[in-house]
Amino acid sequence: MRVCSGLKLFQAGLEIANVGILTCFKRADSLQPADDAIEALRVLRTLTGGGLRAADTLALEAPWIFDRDNTARYEKAIFDHNAALAAAVAADNRLFEPLSHPALEGASAPYCVFRLVCPTSEAYDALEGKVIDAAKRHKLNFDKGGSFGFRGHRFEVVYPDTGEQPFLRVALGRRGGWSCNGIIKMMATLASRGG
What pLDDT score does 168 carry? 96
Q: Which residues of the chain have pLDDT under 50?
A: none
Taking phi over 0 as left and psi of -120 to 50 as alpha, with beta for the rest, 141 belongs to beta
Give the CA distances from residue 147 to residues 132, 171, 182, 187, in Å, rounded to whole numbers and listed in that order: 17, 10, 21, 20
Q: Quick one: which of 58, 154, 165, 69 has its CA closest to 110? A: 154
CA angle 22–26–30, rounded 5-degree value: 150
What pLDDT score does 13 carry? 64
Q: Quick one: which of 100, 122, 95, 120 has its CA closest to 112? A: 100
- For residue range 127-166, list pLDDT tens digits in order: 999 999 999 999 999 999 876 667 789 999 999 888 888 9
68-193 carries CATH number 3.90.1150.10:
yes
Query: pTM of the full predicted structure?
Result: 0.76
What pLDDT score does 77 carry? 92
What pLDDT score does 26 carry? 75
